[in-house]
Amino acid sequence: MSTRPWIVDDDLWALIEPLLPRWPERSSGPRPVVDRLCLQGILCVLYNDIAWQLLPLELGFGSGQTCWRRLERWQQPGIFDQLHRVLLPS
């Protein structure tokens, strides 16, 4: 088992990425943190059972606030239900 189980490898990412909503090509404001990094940040917070604001910026996943907002963005349209069906088939 990896010492950092929140890291999403290329094979797993290939299954997950198509399920995530696309960002508009032209949106105002700064470029969003890459989805893969946000997912790893979410998994890191959950795995380590830490508060969102304690996610270290040095890990490169964006801020805890950014990861939390991305989690909310994905939860609303049922992305995690889709991920469950793809990753954990019955």
DSSP secondary structure string for all residues of 19-83: GSPPPPSS-SSSPPPPHHHHHHHHHHHHHHT--GGGS-GGGSS--HHHHHHHHHHHHTTTHHHHH
Average pLDDT over the chain, rounded to whole?
A: 90
Q: Which residues of the chain have pLDDT under 70?
A: 1-2, 27, 90
What does the alpha-carbon distance between residue 54 and residue 66 come to, in Å, rounded to a whole number? 12
Q: pLDDT (tens digit, 9 = 90+) per residue, 66-82?
A: 999 999 999 988 998 99
Q: Is the pTM of this model over 0.85?
A: yes
